């Protein structure tokens, strides 16, 4: 399987996020990608490809133009106002039902951002673009005939909505790839990050062209807290094309795979031309952000159930914060996709 990766993610390296009453080390670190890359290379996934460049048009198909402008320019405005270099983080948040966007860019921070854990630093926009380019390149490779491609996206994307960011996500890589692929055929997105993919759900909530199926921690106890409930089924033309499986704490492999089989059945009924997996390893039992009870071997079984559907599949990296386990979890899942690496012949 081909891997899409670029070093440009390193431009985004916030030091801190807000937790409880203080700033704590940022969980979504550049080291995550190094760990994944090391594990892939040790397992003979050696086809590592630099992403292509793209104009803004495929990103504008998903994200608001003023929002993209904000992401590009907020850091400079923040610094100009005397903000710390550690990154732009809001302290006051707009309730979209009753709020107007303020005119001044630096004051738009709490309008576009929904949490205090997703700083914007000098290189955030460029890194976010490069992450999206990984997903777009993988999408184009599916269009060119690849059966499965892994986009090593960082920063992740699934919490970013049409004009709102949070959860370590700025541009919704999986959604942008889905929008591009959906011009050719219907697309299913299977989100198996520990957290609900609220951004992806919002983007395609009124669409019957893109099916969204997500397995995640029940938002009654876990981030993002306000969406991912079982009764969210889509709206208008999209009604019936959104499915959430909110799960209890300490979910073990047997329980998880039972739910995954239900998700797989929904996708098979939909019969998409392409499958996008928002892939997180924060479902691992020793993940610092999660409370599920999956082992590393569980990722083989998860990968196997997904690969068995045999849809052209784009796997986009989302979360996963246990640096000892992250790489192995990715390798175990990817290894289930055939044709496998060593015997594969290209060009």
Q: Is 328 in the site for Zn ion (CB under 5 A)?
A: no
Shortest distance (Å) from residue 216 CB to Zn ion? 8
Query: Which of 155, 197, 312, 319 touches Zn ion (CB under 5 A)?
Result: 319
Number of residues counted as binding ligand SP5 (CB under 6 A): 18
Query: Which of 232, 282, 328, 336 touches Zn ion (CB under 5 A)?
Result: 282
12 belongs to the catalytic site? no
Quick check: bond before 145 cis, omega within 30?
no
* Closest C-alpha among 205, 195, 150 to residue 174: 150
Q: Is 288 in the site for ligand SP5 (CB under 6 A)?
A: yes
Shortest distance (Å) from residue 290 CB to ligand SP5? 9
Task: Look up tokens 């019957």; give the residue.
Answer: 208
Inter-axis angle of helices 326-334 and 31-42, nearest 10: 50
Task: Look up tokens 């499986």; give the residue.
Answer: 245
Distance CA 146, CA 55 (A): 23
SS3 state at 330:
helix
Q: Is 28 in the site for Zn ion (CB under 5 A)?
A: no
**β-bridge partners, 113:** 165
Q: Given the complex with Zn ion, which of 124 and 317 has the nearer CB atom?
A: 317
**DSSP structure string for 37-50:** HHHHHHTT---EEP
Q: Is 167 in the site for ligand SP5 (CB under 6 A)?
A: yes
If contact means CB under 5 to 8 A according to the sort of partner, which of Zn ion, ligand SP5, none does residue 223 touch? ligand SP5
The one catalytic residue among 159, 195, 196, 301: 159
User: Token digits for 281?
Assistant: 């390893």
Q: Which stretch binds ligand SP5 (CB under 6 A): 65-73, 86-94, 140-148, 164-172?
A: 164-172
Which residues inside 208-227 make contact with ligand SP5, applying CB under 6 A? 223
Q: Is 280 in the site for Zn ion (CB under 5 A)?
A: yes
Measured at the CA of 213, the angle between CA 247 and CA 272, to 5 degrees, comes to 155
Q: Is 319 in the site for ligand SP5 (CB under 6 A)?
A: yes
Residue 58 CA to its chain's centroid (Å): 17
Residues noted as catalytic:
159
- What is the binding site for ligand SP5 (CB under 6 A)? 19, 24, 27, 117, 156, 159, 167-169, 193, 195, 223, 280, 282, 288-289, 318-319
């Amino acid at each position: 399987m081909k891997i899409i990766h670029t070093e440009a993610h390193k431009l985004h390296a916030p030091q801190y996020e807000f937790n409880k009453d203080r700033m704590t080390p940022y969980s979504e670190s550049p080291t995550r990608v190094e760990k994944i890359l090391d594990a892939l290379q040790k397992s003979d996934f050696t086809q590592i490809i630099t992403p292509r460049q793209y104009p803004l048009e495929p990103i504008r198909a998903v994200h608001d133009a003023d929002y993209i402008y904000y992401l590009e320019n907020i850091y400079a405005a923040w610094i100009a106002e005397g903000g710390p270099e550690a990154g732009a983080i809001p302290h006051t948040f707009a309730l979209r039902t009753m709020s107007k966007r303020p005119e001044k860019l630096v004051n738009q921070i709490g309008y576009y951002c929904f949490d205090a854990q997703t700083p914007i630093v000098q290189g955030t926009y460029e890194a976010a673009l490069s992450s999206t380019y990984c997903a777009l390149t993988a999408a184009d490779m599916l269009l060119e005939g690849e059966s499965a491609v892994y986009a090593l996206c960082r920063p992740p994307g699934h919490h970013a909505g049409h004009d709102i960011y949070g959860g370590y996500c700025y541009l919704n890589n999986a959604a942008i790839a889905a929008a591009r692929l959906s011009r050719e055929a219907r697309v299913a997105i299977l989100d198996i990050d520990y957290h609900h993919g609220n951004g992806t759900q919002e983007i395609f909530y009124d669409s019957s062209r893109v099916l969204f199926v997500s397995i995640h921690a029940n938002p009654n106890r876990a981030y993002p807290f306000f969406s991912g409930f079982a009764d969210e089924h889509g709206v208008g033309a999209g009604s019936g094309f959104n499915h959430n499986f909110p799960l209890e704490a300490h979910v073990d492999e047997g329980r998880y795979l039972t739910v995954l089989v239900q998700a797989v059945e929904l996708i098979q009924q939909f019969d998409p031309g392409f499958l996008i997996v928002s892939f997180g390893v924060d479902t691992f039992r020793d993940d610092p952000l999660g409370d599920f009870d999956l082992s590393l071997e569980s990722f083989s079984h998860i990968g196997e159930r997904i690969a068995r559907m045999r849809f052209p599949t784009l796997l986009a990296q989302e979360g996963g914060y246990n640096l000892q386990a992250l790489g192995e979890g990715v390798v175990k899942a990817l290894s289930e996709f055939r044709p496998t690496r060593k015997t594969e012949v290209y060009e």
